[in-house]
Structure 1
């Protein structure tokens, strides 16, 4: 039976068991309450939540709300929007400003600026009791608007950002023999907080995200790919224990011994779906001697040469780079360029350069190709996320948070700055199975990539697929809720387009909707072309299309029915609803109305 048919059979069984949306049960919440509607909490009720959270309830408004009266302040605000740390520190903003014809970044009505699990539990209880839309903002990086919902109550744990390195961690209910080096990370921490504590200060490594301002719990719950995933696996597979507030307001521990079903669901089952994670404990690893990177670009003189370059690169990647040492990406751009932006671990600079020699030697043999000598740099692994080190070594490679009083370790990779406030027109992704690198699959893949690249830029993210990883990495990832197809995928292909910040009310922000739709259509057409090579491949839930078809199958495959049962156990009323999250088929797109 084909995988799609198997999933349909499984979903059919779930439906017969009452697992998928059907007639609402007696007492079931049918709609969430909006401000001004009957049932919206009274001023006295909100004051009660204020007391229950020790004064941490905030009434929110867009920072652009006063722009008409204060143009100077808004001009300064527009500059601050370029800083992802500023965005993360503002409860009314999200790192993506919206998605055309999908959603816009609008603030919640209120936010609980949580400092402890009790604050989160109070917010959850309040939302459940008053039938409110509830959302969670960690790092605020959700492309699909998961940390954004107007007229809602926001749980905002930014201040819960403690990071504690542990020499020998034993999960609750476990035995001393299970003790492993680990790190405990609060719900509001970003990956720069984790890397600074674990790598720069303690000399260990924790598998996390490539972008330093991404929130820790959200990335782990989405599966979690970092730059070095082919060596250390997914962030989800590193999870040892989580503290989580579930829909009943209870603070629970989830690990392999306690609430193991919930623990499994948190390892890739999607953020904002099963509760509010308040703390995560992740395994740490010994550091290699070096982390490093390389950059370069090869340009073809004509279409035939470009097609040959793509095929040659794929074979080169298969034979030389599809292993635990290499990660990150290449881009097929402008119809004839191959842009290289890769990282490596466990190699010194000479070894990394030698690995690429066959490709550049081949390119030198033909006048059809031009390039400058690629750049290679290996650095002590402990210094990789040390902004002070980069200030002295490669100024500008990391850009510091420029705000007065900002923590010294707050810095972002220069290449990630463009994500701050990004407004998406179109975004498509698909995993590419490793079998396409073998036999006639390689020629078909090269043709598909060539055809797609004539329509739009195609990115191949090799660290977001585990094909080529060691056996122990594959085994750990197999024990997560992430789509099983990631085990056989050598890369995640991403085709996307967008524009500068376009928050509602932002002066000077203009959305050319006709142009945006035309660009999105080209993105979709390019991905449709590529998908013909691997029509049934899945996609990474955290980086995918807002309008994704068959999303249950695409994101989780055969794991979806099990995830749905866990969702129904811990959140039977759907308090936690995000776009294309487990169980969201029961709700309207905005999460306010249950489908009959």
Structure 2
């Protein structure tokens, strides 16, 4: 549906050339605010109350408000409720110039943060719209076209690539689109009644914990992310969307059956397998913030399966991690055929499968559990009645840290590597060599057993014949120098280079890949890239949504 033009913005655009040149941005901001019902707000850094200077001007430190910021600084629920807060705090900063307003995540009350740094806006958009309606999005498109102001889209801020913040941008905050419903007989709009699904529909702001609680209350299972603040409808699903249930049930893009989206050409569209099919294909893997602003997503749900789950951990030493990683590497292919999905580290494992009974699960993991026990560790293998039972018991208390400066890298590891002694040895050697620099984080979240329809999604096809999404992070601190930041980026690149050499024809997960992934077109999309680019040009012919790293002040290093 076409959304038309806006009275206030059109009036300003019709003003005399001299007047527009003199007051264009401020006048259009006023008109924009009226158009969106007063939901245009100014944004300043969340840690500003702790500082004595902001943008070079003296300000009054507020001890009470600062104490609240310090208390919530590493809390995902605190950060998700505020537009000006990001899960990874370096995406609030201008990394190359140290324009920042952040605290010490290891000790948020550390006075060094505000004694050695002045508070600067960094990469936080100075204005944002609290999006409630499709017309809000069109107002932003119109404003961007009139002023040249870049746009960014933010939901929860759970964004490892920094695409949801940008210096000097106008942001669209979709977090308050919190609608949620489900139907046993959902038919995508424009499709025949024979195309019927049990499906859940969520507004763009819904996070996975909310979705899991809703699904459990209604006695079904949804396939989603591993952190409570990951959004259901945003970059997670549009970038692929891995889950530890993905080995059996597919990626997020395999499960979505409809998007509602405002595209940059000013139309509120429904995209599914029966209308706007090219856009539907592109949104199923082409990336968030690329083709428009998604308002809601509908995805297939499952009945509650009975899960077998395993949690193992031991204290790592210089002598026992290699033995553990050897078992993991040598067991991976067998575990893949049994439907196991999960996360594995140098001294821990947490996996689930809906395909094995409890006795079968214990037998499957016997070598691993015997090793963990021999190292004085703990092993719990059990059945759980629902995904929510697993998530609430194991995930909420052990999610990835927030408020820190993590730089991710990843590589998809093809199944063929785990079917030869040479391939397994190369992987093991690389994992062991990585340990002095970074811990491997093995995500067993690829659709290895899922019966996909070839070409139905736009993610790199190598996803469907891989067993690991192998990732890791390097990091820097709030007070790191530019050279230290460069070193962290370079270290990540060097690690991925090793795994790229082992799997040169594979790819990476765009949501958790290197910021400077070389040949990113091939790594993220493979043979799908050219078609994605043509669809992008069709729906965004003037490049209103232009987001190669969103123009960040990111540090560069020798190979960038």
Matched, 1:354 2:363: yes
Task: Single out whichever of 222-231 and 446-455 deviates more from structure 2.
Answer: 446-455
Question: Does structure 1 residue 480 correspond to structure 2 residue 489?
Answer: no
CA distance 1:285–1:60, change in 2 (3 Å): same
- 1:594 aligns to what? none
Equivalent of residue 419 in structure 2, options 427, 430, 438: 438
- Equivalent position to 1:330, from 333, 344, 369: 344
In structure 1, C-alpha distance between the alignment counterparts of 2:23 and 2:266, rounded to whole Å: 20
Aligned partner of 1:240 in structure 2 is 257
- Going from structure 1 to structure 2, the CA distance change for 1:487 and 1:386 (only over 3 Å counts) comes to closer
On the 8 A contact 1:331/1:460 being kept in 2, the answer is yes
Match of 2:179 among 148, 162, 167: 162
Name 1:80's counterpart in structure 2: 72
- What's the Cα RMSD here? 2.7
Match for residue 3 of structure 1? Answer: none
Do the aligned partners of 2:265 and 2:541 also contact (CA within 8 Å) in 1? no
Cα displacement (A) at 1:106: 3.0
CA distance in 2, matches of 1:255, 1:361: 48
Counterpart position of 2:158? 141
Secondary structure of the 1:475 match is coil
Aligned 1:36-185 pairs, distance under 5 A: 41-67=24-50, 68=52, 69=60, 70-98=62-90, 101=96, 106-185=123-202
Whether 2:438 is the aligned partner of 1:453: answer no
TM-score (ref. length: structure 1): 0.78
Are 2:319 and 1:313 aligned?
no
2:460 and 2:359 map into 1 onto residues whose CA distance is 37
Q: How far apart are 1:572 and its partner, in Å?
A: 1.2
What whole-Å deviation, never above 9, does each CA across 1:293-324 have from its counterpart, x for those lacking one? Answer: 4122385774xx765553343222222x1136
3-state secondary structure, aligned to 1:224:
coil
Moved more, 353-362 or 238-247: 353-362
**Is residue 384 from structure 1 mapped to residue 389 from structure 2 by the alignment?**
yes
Choose the corresponding residue for 1:190, options 207, 212, 219: 207
SS of corresponding position for 1:205: coil
Moved more, 68-77 or 346-355: 346-355
Instruction: Say if 1:428 and 1:102 are closer, same or farther in 2 by CA, change over 3 A.
Output: farther
Task: State the match for 1:267 in structure 2.
Answer: 284
> What is the CA deviation profile of residues 526-556 of structure 1, one whole-angstrom value per residue up to 9, with x for unaligned ones?
3333332212321000001111111111111
Q: How does 1:194-233 map to 2 (within 5 A)?
A: 194-198=211-215, 200-217=216-233, 218-233=235-250
Equivalent residues of 2:155, 2:173 under 8 A apart: yes
Contact 1:128/1:247 (CA < 8 Å) preserved in 2? no
Distance change in 2, residues 1:443/1:374 (3 Å): same
Structure 1 residue 327 displacement after superposition? 1.2
Contact 2:343 2:349 in 1 (8 A): yes
Q: Classify the secondary structure of the residue corresponding to 2:24.
A: coil
Structure 1: unaligned runs, 5 residues or longer: 1-36, 333-337, 391-396, 399-412, 503-509, 592-596
Secondary structure of 2:295's aligned partner: strand
CA offsets 1:88-128 (integer angstroms, 9 cap, x no match): 22112221111654997632121110112222222222222
Compared CA separation, residues 382 and 436, structure 1 to 2 (3 A): closer
Offset at residue 241 of structure 1 (A) = 0.7
**TM superposition shift of 1:575:** 0.7
Following superposition, the deviation at residue 562 of structure 1 comes to 0.2
**Structure 2-normalised TM-score?**
0.82
Q: Does 1:531 align with 2:540?
A: no
Of 348, 351, 354, 1:339 maps to 348
1:286/1:184 CA distance change after superposition, 3 Å:
same
- Describe how 1:568-583 pairs up with structure 2 within 5 A: 568-579=537-548
Deviation, structure 1 residue 287? 1.5
Note the alpha carbon deviations across 1:450-483, whole angstroms, 9 max, x for none.
33334432121111x233x14x2x337x410001
Which residue of the partner structure matches residue 111 of structure 2?
none
Counterparts of 1:357-376 in structure 2, within 5 Å, are: 357-361=366-370, 370-376=375-381
Q: CA offsets, 1:75-95, max 9 Å, x none? A: 321211222122122112221
2:524 aligned residue? 555
The counterpart of 2:405, out of the listed 405, 423, 440, is 423
Higher relative contact order (CA 8 A, sep 6+): 1
